[in-house]
Structure 1
Amino acid sequence: MQDAAPIAYAHRPKPFGYEVSYRLDPDALFVDTGRKQERIPYRSIVLARLAYAPTNFTTKGYRLTLLLADRRTLKIANLSWKTYFEFDRQDGGYAAFVRALLARAAAANPRLACRTGTPPVLWGLAAAAGALVVAGLIAMGLAATQRGGLTVALLVILFVAPLGWQVHAMVTRNWPGSFDPGAPPQRVMPAPG
């Protein structure tokens, strides 16, 4: 069965890099990096990992990492960088492309492993580091308050609130787990449409 129009997606993964374009052909993922073109058979995709990957306090970033049979990885994200400070969020196109890619990869490789978040060891280290930083800042704010440094305490509170929210989002959304390729969880995918 052949689609009337191929499903395609493009993004610029780095602020000053090339745009990478992808196309879902009937039997392979076509990748054009601007310097090289490649066809990756769907059956050679052995693992798909969806993760929440924000770039700052206000941006919801998502990433699909594919592990290929030859141990190479391919990363596709919903953010496309224009400059070092500007980017476009391509949530709808990314979500539709990822869902279609997962369906084709799972059909071609019934043993496709679908994971969410970060690997357990990295998740544990990130959760511990985030908790320690937030706890340290809270302790610093309390110490400043006890010494009469209300300005410092207020500045710490203004910084801890968004940092704590971001750490919470990273830890809860990137909880390690598995998923069905036909139903990726919303915590690691942008809303469709």
Structure 2
Amino acid sequence: MTQTYTHSPRPVGGPISFAIKGDRLIVDSGRKVHEVRLGAVETMRMTYEPGRIGQKSFRTKVTMKDGKTFAFSSLNWRSLIEAQEMTTEYRAFAQALCETIAKANPEARFIAGKPWWLWFSTTAIALLSLLLMAYLIWQALQMGSTGVALIGALLAIVGVWQIEPMVRLNKPRVFSSDTLPEELLPKAR
């Protein structure tokens, strides 16, 4: 059985189609068709990519032994302002691709989250920003500027709401090819 997945990864541009055929992946961008030997995969990395308000985006990136990469996400852009979440399709294709890669190359690594250096940098900047915001709020209260303190508190809350999932979900870790990280997949409906 051939497993397929098609999505438009950007607001502008055409769709990209992926089809798993045996131990190969056919990638059709509309301009070129590439055939990828899945036995040459070095890593498959799944991440959370913050989207617009109310939309979450998940991304799978595959790196080959020669350094070439390809990626696909859970969002299908229909226009500059409209994106569709590809929940069922993304989950099914990511699982099928993971299983096929594991069969084709048992030494392939399956990684959830961002690289350590990027995750640590994001976490450190987020914590520093929150500490600075707390200091701003404290200073505003000391000076009697309740309005500035309230605006600072509102910005801190919005910051935590936006940054917390990036830090929590993108913590680097390995996963098994037969059990994808549920938190890095769109919620099944």
TM-score by length of 1: 0.91
1:143 to 139, 144, 156: 139
Helix, strand or coil at the partner of 1:61: strand
Partner of 1:72: 68
Partner of 2:116: 120
Partners of 1:23 and 1:131 lie apart in 2 by 42
Check if 1:47 corresponds to 2:43.
yes
Q: Is the CA contact 2:23–2:101 (under 8 Å) kept in the aligned structure 1? A: no
Partner of 2:171: 175
Residue 145 of structure 1 and its aligned partner are, at CA, apart by 2.3
Check if 1:97 corresponds to 2:93.
yes
Partners of 2:147 and 2:90 lie apart in 1 by 43
1:19-58 pair list within 5 angstroms: 19-58=15-54
Q: Greater shift after overlay, 177-186 or 141-150?
A: 141-150
Evaluate the alpha carbon distance shift between residue 159 and residue 58 of structure 1 in structure 2; reply closer, same or farther with a 3 A threshold. farther
Residue 118 of structure 1 and its aligned partner are, at CA, apart by 0.8
Check if 1:7 corresponds to 2:8.
no
Q: Which segments of structure 1 move beyond 4 Å, counting only runs of 4 or more?
A: none
Helix, strand or coil at the partner of 1:53: strand
Partner of 1:155: 151
Q: Which amino acid aligns with 1:135?
A: L
Q: Which amino acid aligns with 1:102?
A: C
Partner of 1:188: 184
Unaligned runs of 5+ in 2: none
Partners of 1:148 and 1:95 lie apart in 2 by 52
2:126 to 121, 130, 154: 130
Partners of 1:22 and 1:163 lie apart in 2 by 36
Q: Which amino acid aligns with 1:59?
A: Q
Residue 64 of structure 1 and its aligned partner are, at CA, apart by 0.4
Partners of 1:75 and 1:131 lie apart in 2 by 30
TM-score by length of 2: 0.93
Q: Residue by residue, what CA displacement relative to the aligned partner does 1:69-118 show, whole Å, maximum 9, x if unpaired?
A: 22111111001222333211112110110000100110010101101101
Partners of 1:85 and 1:125 lie apart in 2 by 30
Helix, strand or coil at the partner of 2:50: coil
Q: Greater shift after overlay, 94-103 or 130-139?
A: 130-139
Partners of 2:185 and 2:145 lie apart in 1 by 42
Partners of 1:189 and 1:52 lie apart in 2 by 8
Unaligned runs of 5+ in 1: none
Aligned pair count? 189
Residue 57 of structure 1 and its aligned partner are, at CA, apart by 4.4
